[in-house]
Structure 1
């Protein structure tokens, strides 16, 4: 029967009985997040965290704590230099000095330089330049140590029980929910549904939203495939799908978005339920869309959904200020670990309106078998968490949010400075043989100049571009990715699972509208006569000047005919290259 907690059955037992929720079991918090992590927590977050109770370990707690602290604590802040270790040849130190003259405010983010040393030293040890934070953030090493230490000391069990191990898991899950709500400043009335990722959270809304004849689903063209995919659920129930077009640099124009929302809003008492999905930040164009569209859509009668997967890692989101009905996030994009866990942060009133097309273990109280009777569980969030939640990883969510809260205020200022410098430097590069531009920047550049910690940027920290031959033709993205890999640079190429955004940046909206129903990417590329997609460089939590400088040095290499030709020959020789 349904969500069967393991308790003894007895004749006459009320089948609706549920074991009480564990209240008194907590987990012992590690001291690994010390000065660097917790010393700069924004006012309002730390006090709202749930209280933690000691878990009764068998070991001598005082000895364990001392050993753990000696092992895990980073060096004190005052002992860390804030200047990157610029040991490369080619004038990196000189370039850094020039950068600081242009962006002196960057030095206000010195604590992230200390973090780079304490938690991301593997970047320097490996020699890898990681610039794919939009694909996934890098995890801080201390977060892994803290979580591994907790797992090695603790006994966790399936939450669908009442054993001590299960009670500890349930307590950790409750901590994680409260930490998510606190991090996003959610007012009363919100809850958290844990999912596999942001995609699963978006699908959960799409499959359960009460679309019907006369309903509308309104979304941005510059959106992730997971947002586009909801249109399948809408059309299957007879709802209309309506797009907000993107300008050449992606995103939306606020006035046009409002016009589309007015045109397709629910009208009359019998109108179907309408849903508006807003992409908070594009993962390809770097555009940030105005969150005020959430309030506007709500005023027009829409339910509202925010895809915050790309926005949450580097921007402050307050659900008190922007009370969206539901918001989808992925934690690995925010702080790198764990993968396989996302969340739908959602109003309970909205969740109660959703109609799930099925039920599963964990979502029900009683199931008649054989028969048709199903009684859903009393806890709203449990009705949407199919099967067993990822209880071994949920404790890392609490620690990860606590970790990120200390550094999030510094990231917009830091990343905006680095992104501006990267765009300017790449735009200035010319081929050594013809003097023609090496790159074409396609994404939206930041226009707002940030001066102080806590300010929010008007764009993300994504640079989408094309590399060009001296003739002005596009260098194949697959070759650029191969050459970058050969120089230990982790970037990404392609359409980034965002066809509308890619079409806007590449000027392919008309061609996109003319696609046949059996279109394939290969056929589309053959028709256009070139590879489709962009080169994407994205910065994040651990990025510093060294990363940007190395990308620029790589680009300079691509502007040199001799070096580029040698890489081209290697590419073809490895049977990797395809001549177009």
Structure 2
């Protein structure tokens, strides 16, 4: 579902800590505030250690990964002649930075997605070279998605080194990558990267981070100031003295100090499991994808599903190996006649089996368009278009069904999914479930997009 299951032990440890401690606002010098500041500093150090960050990095806590991306977008010194380069297979929060770029006269250039998501390294190299920078040219930003949340593609991180050698500043969206893959800022010294902790170990929500080079922070220009970001403010007047600590200049208001101790404990928890996660998850995903591909309807032998996302080329064989994909499977379902079964029905039927799936475009329209083959339809969109308009034009619900595996997933989870899909091959079971769904309003959804029932 895009968020990791939180471990019972993490909740117990954090609850016990809060029960025995009194935390205060970090913008004070009381004993409770000193404890909060100590915990915040420990969390910052834990994040840097987890990602093997060299001394030139610092951590800015944000409400989530989206807020961290927005922080870069609103502060980056885009001017006329600058460029913002990004991958089509990216989260909407990465696409949103283009608003800041275009409002200041900068150009926006997209790196196209392949039919299976991600991007072609040779095409990307050509585009980067086309906008090649020199010391006397305006600053430009290259944003890369470490792992797609819908196509399951992993980006070749060597592209970051190429972009930096050409003079680009680099921004890595690691929100989907960090939960199940090891990443070292020593080996890949990106200028800035964003993460979200609930995606990594489930708790706490409402806390993300921008892990960033201090030298990169110096070129960012904040469009405003707030409590905690300043030391002196002239009122009335125009004089503002920023906080001395680089991270404090970018942490608006009060940080989520009550939950930061859980970040430290959560990283410690994940560190113990992360070396083994790629091995376990690649085996589970490989088995699930292989089994799903073999399933056929009883009456016509038509395949039940079509997997659209990338799947591991092979299951890993040893601890320490890294998979060439993530651990999600995006797919669509078909009836015995080969017609697509609505995603909303699949989600409804899965819910009745206590299985949590996600349907839609996963806030990644570029990746979704690529694997669904609707890039040409995307070009026809017009100002003010709604999702219902788009679906009506295409003639069906848009999006995919996504099955996500992560820190807490095991073989029983995969078996439950396979058993559920197997039930869909049974005409009697499927018809009964369809009638329930129709009574609960499912047919209204289809009528709104012009899809036949």
Aligned counterparts, 1:415-426, within 5 A: 415-426=281-292
8 Å CA contact 2:335, 2:341 repeated in 1: yes
Out of 543, 558, 562, the position equivalent to 2:428 is 562
Q: Verify: 1:169 aligned to 2:36, yes or no.
A: yes
Q: Say whether 1:253 aligns with 2:120.
A: yes
Q: Which residue of 2 aligns with 1:467?
A: 333
User: How many aligned residue pairs are there?
Assistant: 446
Matches within 5 A, 1:205-224: 205-224=72-91
The 8 Å contact of residues 181 and 192 in structure 1, kept in 2 or not, is answered as yes
SS at structure 1 position matched to 2:330: strand
Q: 1:343/1:458 Cα in 2 relative to 1: closer, same or farther (>3 Å)? A: same
- How many Å apart are 1:575 and its aligned residue? 1.8
User: What is the alpha-carbon distance in structure 2 between the residues aligned to residue 148 and residue 264 of structure 1?
Assistant: 52
Partner of 2:109: 242
Number of the residue aligned with 1:100: none
Q: Which residue of 2 aligns with 1:293?
A: 159
What are the residue-to-residue correspondences of 1:303-382 with 2, within 5 Å? 303-382=169-248
Contact in 2 for aligned 1:216/1:265 (Cα 8 Å): no
Number of the residue aligned with 1:230 = 97
Distance in 1 (CA, whole Å) between partners of 2:296 and 2:314 is: 27
SS in 2 for 1:530: coil
* Cα contact 1:493–1:536 (8 A) shared by 2: yes
SS at match of 2:58: strand
Match of 1:159 in 2: 26
CA contact (8 A) 1:225 1:498 kept: yes
Q: Give CA deviations for 1:296-344 in whole Å, capped at 9, x if unaligned.
A: 1000100000000000000000000000000000000000000000000
Partner of 1:441: 307
Give how far 1:379 is off: 0.4
Q: 2:54 aligns with which of 175, 187, 190?
A: 187
CA 1:323–1:448: 2 relative to 1, 3 Å: farther
Query: Of the candidates 48, 66, 69, which is equivalent to residue 202 of structure 1?
Result: 69
Instruction: Give yes or no for contact 2:286–2:315 (8 Å, CA) kept in 1.
Output: no
RMSD of equivalent CA atoms = 0.8
Q: Distance in 1 between matches of 2:269 and 2:132?
A: 41
* Structure 1: distance between partners of 2:15 and 2:132: 50
Q: What SS does structure 2 have at the residue aligned with 1:540?
A: coil
CA contact (8 A) 1:265 1:274 kept: no
Q: What TM-score, normalized to structure 1?
A: 0.76
The C-alpha deviation readout for 1:533-571, integer Å capped at 9, x for no partner, is 000001000111100011000001111111111100000
Of the two, which has the highest radius of gyration?
1
SS of alignment partner, residue 288 of structure 1: coil
Is contact 2:286–2:314 with CA below 8 Å preserved after alignment? no
> How many Å separate the matches in 2 of 1:154 and 1:538?
36
Contact 1:274 1:303 in 2 (8 A): yes
Partner of 1:67: none
Per-residue Cα deviation, 1:210-239 (whole angstroms, up to 9, x for no partner): 000000000000000000000000000100
Q: Which whole-Å deviations, capped at 9, do the CAs of 1:165-198 have from their partners, x for residues lacking one? A: 0000000000000000000000110000000000
Q: How does 1:493-504 map to 2 (within 5 A)?
A: 493-504=359-370
2:357 is aligned with 1:488: no
Instruction: Kindly indicate whether residue 154 of structure 2 is the aligned counterpart of residue 280 of structure 1.
Output: no
2:145 is the alignment partner of 1:145:
no
1:409 aligned onto 2:301: no
**TM-score of the aligned structures, taking structure 2 as reference length:** 0.98
CA deviation vs aligned residue, 1:392-444 (integer Å, no higher than 9, x gap) = 00000000000000000000000000001001111101011111110010001
Following superposition, the deviation at residue 499 of structure 1 comes to 0.1
Structure 1 CA distance for aligned equivalents of residues 418 and 52 of structure 2:
38
2-structure distance, mates of 1:268, 1:213: 16
Retained in 2: the 8 A contact 1:466–1:535?
Answer: yes
For 2:314 and 2:289, how far apart are their aligned partners in 1?
14
1:453 corresponds in structure 2 to: 319
1:126-154 deviations in Å (ceiling 9; x for gaps): xxxxxx2xx10000000000000000101
Return the match for 1:388 from 232, 254, 271: 254
Shift of 1:517: 1.6
| Partner SS, residue 149 of structure 1 | helix
Q: Which runs of 5+ in 1 are unaligned?
A: 1-131
C-alpha contact 1:215 1:266 (8 A) present in aligned 2: no
1-structure distance, mates of 2:36, 2:129: 46
CA distance in 1, matches of 2:308, 2:35: 50
